[in-house]
């Protein structure tokens, strides 16, 4: 059920993809002012225009996509480490569980300064890789597809049809973010850290749950592991053909899904349906755009003269 790597040399394209993902995530956090919702008053029409252009274009290009690439590579890195230890006759799962505990410590320290960070979620969800890493490729692929299809949101849609009075609370994390922002603006450094590490993580995890990031991240972890298992990142003619197909299919899928997001509210009047339905489409469009980025970078890296730049 697995294909071992042909050698132990570092796979540079993985570093390229990871660097691209971190760049995108960082740019998003920069213009969001690291979750501190405090912006200077805008007085220049020119700067208001450029701010909007930068905000909209950066979010269109990277929001929900750079994070997807990062999640894929988390699963890929797990496979590399697990596979290397398996070839030595060792079981990596216990060591990985310990590493996730260490990751949680780093994540908590980081969240004191930036309550919108992602590592707490990774530290929790990383254990799904331990649970599935010995399953067959087909079984893992099926589980990943189910998770990426946003099963919680589909459940909400089904329940809303069964119970017409059901109304989903789509903003329950808002009051928690307000507490965190007030502590950051007005509290001492210690008050800010204490509020961020608990209330901030509650708000952040609430946002993740509301926006389908929990199941999506777990599914992306598994897909990344399968990319490593099938040895799809190193150069080969077969792999290049695969990534060209991924690029084409992702491009063809993205535009109709993204376009449907804009007109969906015109056809849905019930709030209980209007919350989960666009979220499903947005998640699918992000995955499609991630396929464009992921496959596109691989193609450019291997087939053009921009390898060193990347």
Q: What tens digit of pLDDT does each residue of 97-143 get?
A: 999 999 999 999 999 888 878 999 999 999 999 999 999 999 999 99
Helices (DSSP H) in 63-173: which residue ranges? 66-87, 93-113, 119-125, 127-132, 137-148, 151-162
The pLDDT of 155-166, averaged and rounded, is 84
Residue 24 makes CB contacts below 8 A (sequence gap 6+) with: 61, 62, 65, 66, 67, 69
Look-up of token digits 């309550």: 115
C-alpha–C-alpha distance, residues 273 and 271, integer Å: 5
C-alpha–C-alpha distance, residues 126 and 96, integer Å: 9
Predicted confidence (pLDDT) at residue 3 exceeds the cutoff of 60: no
C-alpha–C-alpha distance, residues 41 and 23, integer Å: 27
The pLDDT of 147-174, averaged and rounded, is 82
pLDDT confidence tier of residue 169, bands split at 50, 70 and 90: low
CA 85 to mean position of chain CA atoms: 27
How much is the mean pLDDT over the chain?
90
* Local structure of 283: helix, strand or coil: helix
Q: What is the dihedral of CA 48, 260, 171, 202, to 10 degrees?
A: -90
Predicted confidence (pLDDT) at residue 24 exceeds the cutoff of 50: yes
pLDDT confidence tier of residue 6, bands split at 50, 70 and 90: very low
The pLDDT of 41-66, averaged and rounded, is 92
Phi, psi (5° rounding) for residue 163? Answer: -120, 95
Is pLDDT larger for residue 99 or for residue 204? 99
The pLDDT of 61-89, averaged and rounded, is 95
The pLDDT of 186-215, averaged and rounded, is 90
Q: What tens digit of pLDDT does each residue of 36-53 get?
A: 777 788 889 999 999 999
Q: What tens digit of pLDDT does each residue of 272-284 get?
A: 788 889 899 999 9
Supply the pLDDT for residue 275. Answer: 80
Supply the pLDDT for residue 34. Answer: 82
C-alpha–C-alpha distance, residues 111 and 201, integer Å: 7
C-alpha–C-alpha distance, residues 146 and 123, integer Å: 21
The pLDDT of 168-197, averaged and rounded, is 84
DSSP 57-72: HHHHHHTTTHHHHHHH
Q: What tens digit of pLDDT does each residue of 247-299 get?
A: 999 999 999 999 998 888 888 877 778 888 989 999 999 999 999 999 999 99
* Local structure of 120: helix, strand or coil: helix
Residue 73, classified by CB atoms within 10 Å of its CB into exposed (0-12), middle (13-18) or buried (19+), is: buried
pLDDT confidence tier of residue 230, bands split at 50, 70 and 90: very high
The pLDDT of 296-304, averaged and rounded, is 96
Predicted confidence (pLDDT) at residue 216 exceeds the cutoff of 90: yes
Supply the pLDDT for residue 2. Answer: 44
pTM of the model as a whole? 0.91
């Amino acid at each position: 059920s697995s294909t071992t790597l042909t050698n132990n040399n570092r796979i540079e394209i993985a570093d390229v993809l990871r660097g691209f993902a971190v760049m995108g995530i960082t740019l998003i956090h920069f213009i969001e002012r690291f979750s501190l919702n405090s912006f200077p008053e805008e007085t220049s029409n020119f700067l208001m225009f450029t701010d909007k252009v930068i905000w909209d274009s950066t979010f269109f290009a990277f929001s929900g996509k750079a994070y997807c690439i990062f999640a894929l590579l988390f699963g890929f890195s797990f496979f590399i480490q697990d596979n290397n230890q398996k070839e030595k006759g060792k079981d990596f799962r216990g060591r990985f569980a310990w590493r996730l505990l260490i990751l949680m410590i780093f994540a908590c320290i980081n969240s004191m300064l930036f309550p919108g960070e992602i590592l707490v979620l990774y530290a929790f969800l990383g254990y799904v890789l331990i649970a599935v890493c010995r399953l067959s490729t087909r079984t893992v692929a099926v589980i990943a597809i189910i998770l990426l299809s946003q099963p919680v949101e589909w459940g909400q849609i089904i329940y809303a049809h069964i119970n017409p009075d059901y109304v989903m609370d789509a903003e329950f994390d808002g009051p928690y973010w307000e507490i965190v922002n007030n502590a950051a603006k007005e509290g001492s450094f210690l008050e800010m850290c204490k509020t961020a590490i608990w209330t901030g993580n509650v708000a952040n995890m609430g946002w993740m749950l509301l926006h389908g990031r929990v199941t999506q991240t777990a599914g992306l972890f598994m897909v990344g592991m399968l990319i490593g298992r099938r040895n799809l990142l190193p150069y080969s003619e077969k792999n290049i053909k695969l990534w060209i197909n991924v690029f084409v299919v992702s491009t063809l899928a993205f535009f109709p899904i993204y376009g449907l997001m804009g007109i969906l509210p015109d056809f849905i009047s019930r709030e209980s349906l209007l919350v989960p339905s666009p979220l499903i489409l947005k998640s699918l469009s992000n995955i499609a755009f991630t396929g464009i980025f992921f496959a596109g970078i691989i193609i450019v890296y291997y087939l053009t003269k921009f390898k060193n730049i990347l």
